[in-house]
Structures are given as C-alpha cells and as structure tokens.
C-alpha cells in the first residue's frame, strides 16, 4: 500500500551515526492556560508526550479542556504557564506562522474547506500558503487525493458537491500536503456515519504507523480510542490518566 506522504533520507557513504533517543514530537510540560479577562484556569499543570509514529487520542467530557490543549498544540495560542516543546524546541521561541503552515496539519470536524473551490484548489491553496516549491502543484494534489480515495473526476468538483466522508478526506489531504511532522484532528469523525468513520480512522492509522507521523486526535468516540496507541484522559483541565491504547497491541 503506497504511503500518503513520501519522503526519503540518505546517509553519506562511509559515515556512521550514533543513535540517540529522539525527543517527543510534542512534549507538554506543566502547561497552564487561562483565557484573557478570566480568573479561572482552563488547563492546570498538564503534562504529556506525543511521539512520532503513533496515534494519540485526547479524551474527556465536554468542557474538560481537551480542545484548548489541541489549540495550543496547533500553535494557535501559547500557554499561560509551562511550555510546549516541538521536537525539543520551545514553541514560544519558534516562528508559529511557519510552524502552522509547514510543521503541523490540522483537521477540523466541520472540514473548514473553501466551499467555492474544488478539492484540488483547496489543496493547492494550502501549498501556496506554505510556500511550496513543488512545480506541478495540481498533479501533486491529484496524486495525494487519489491515495486518499478521491479520484481525479471527484477532485475537480466543488467540495460542496462531495459527501461528508469525501470532504473529510480532502481536509486530511490539505493537512498533510506540506509533509508536516504532526497531524492534529479535532473531532474529525463527529459528522460521519460509522462506516465512513472507520475508513477515516484507517487513514489516520496509516499516516502514523506507515509514515511515522505524530497523530493527535480529540474525539468522544470509543471507536477512535480503539485505534489509539496512547489515550490521554483529561478532566477539569487536568490529565488524569495516560494509558497505552489498543492500537499498540495490534502493531
């Protein structure tokens, strides 16, 4: 099965490297967050690591703080206290515009696609925003969409004429087209039927396990928790448990 994202690295001939433990793709260290003009912390001393090559699920009831944590991981805001490390670098010290454009892909429950555009045009727009150097962006977008189950004819339709599952696949393609190291998804299957949900979750699993990306999903669904390599449970702004998921056992 071809990968969704394809990259290749080569070592120089005759050189040897000493392997050292790689830092977590994302490391949350004693993070606190308080919305402006409020006296209440939404997150309290939250700590968790999210590794490459794994599917991580953040679980919790509505209002538990999980979506706020996701927005911090996506670089949409910075913690009030503590820090978030991206491959060992403090997110507060990096160019967050560049981080959001190139290093992290985000998938939303409501898709957030440009509805007046085709699937291909949505993907090309994401490439343009990131300053992609790909020469034939249309071809690259079509190839990526094809690997996600969207054929060329469908890819040239306005996204409003696509099914919910097809739109979510386009949203995933847009999120991964710039080869990010981290893919974040906020309730990505909340608007989908059970069969389509299973298909989308299989895509996330492939992105993590076959492509070596860090995938972080916020979701209430028990089906999503079943594919996870790690489940981080949040309640009232605090991490209560971080357990190995069933996905680890199946690998």
According to the model, what pLDDT value does residue 9 have? 38
Helix segments in 28-118, DSSP class H: 66-73, 96-98
According to the model, what pLDDT value does residue 6 have? 47
The tokens for 210 are: 């076959």
Could you list the beta-strand ranges (E) of 71-186: 81-86, 89-90, 104-108, 182-186
* 27-50 pLDDT per residue, tens: 999 999 998 888 789 999 999 999
Which of the residues in the chain have pLDDT under 50? 1, 6-13, 15, 17
* 145-192 pLDDT per residue, tens: 999 999 999 999 999 999 999 999 999 999 999 999 999 999 888 888
pTM of the model: 0.85
According to the model, what pLDDT value does residue 11 have? 41
CATH number of 55-62+93-250: 3.40.50.300
Are residues 69 and 242 in contact, defined by beta-carbon separation less than 8 angstroms? no
According to the model, what pLDDT value does residue 247 have? 63
According to the model, what pLDDT value does residue 21 have? 63
Closest CA to 54 of 238, 218, 222, 217: 217
According to the model, what pLDDT value does residue 191 have? 80
Give Cβ neighbours of residue 231 (< 8 Å, ≥ 6 apart). 56, 57, 59, 225, 241, 242, 243, 244, 245
Q: For a pLDDT cut of 90, what percent of the chain falls above it?
A: 69
- The number of angstroms, rounded, from the C-alpha of 23 to the middle of its chain's C-alpha atoms is 18
The tokens for 183 are: 């893919």
∠ at Cα 28 (22, 32), nearest 5°? 165
């Amino acid at each position: 099965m071809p990968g969704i994202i394809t990259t290749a690295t080569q070592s120089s001939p005759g050189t040897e490297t000493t392997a050292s433990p790689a830092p977590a793709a994302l490391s949350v260290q004693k993070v606190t967050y308080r919305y402006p003009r409020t006296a209440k912390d939404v997150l309290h001393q939250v700590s968790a690591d999210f590794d490459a090559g794994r599917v991580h699920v953040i679980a919790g009831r509505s209002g538990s703080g999980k979506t706020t944590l996701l927005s911090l991981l996506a670089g949409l805001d910075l913690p009030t206290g503590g820090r978030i490390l991206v491959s060992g670098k403090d997110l507060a010290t990096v160019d967050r515009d560049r981080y959001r454009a190139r290093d992290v892909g985000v998938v939303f429950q409501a898709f957030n696609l440009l509805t007046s555009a085709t699937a291909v045009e949505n993907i090309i727009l994401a490439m343009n925003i990131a300053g992609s150097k790909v020469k034939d962006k249309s071809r690259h977008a079509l190839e990526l969409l094809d690997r996600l189950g969207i054929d060329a004819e469908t890819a040239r339709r306005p996204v409003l004429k696509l099914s919910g599952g097809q739109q979510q696949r386009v949203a995933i393609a847009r999120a991964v087209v710039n080869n990010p190291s981290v893919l974040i998804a906020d309730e990505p299957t909340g608007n989908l039927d059970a069969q389509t949900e299973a298909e989308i979750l299989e895509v996330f699993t492939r992105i993590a396990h076959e492509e070596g990306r860090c995938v972080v999903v916020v979701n209430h669904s028990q089906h999503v928790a079943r594919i996870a390599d790690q489940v981080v449970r949040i309640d009232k702004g605090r991490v209560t448990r971080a357990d190995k998921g069933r996905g680890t056992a199946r690998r």
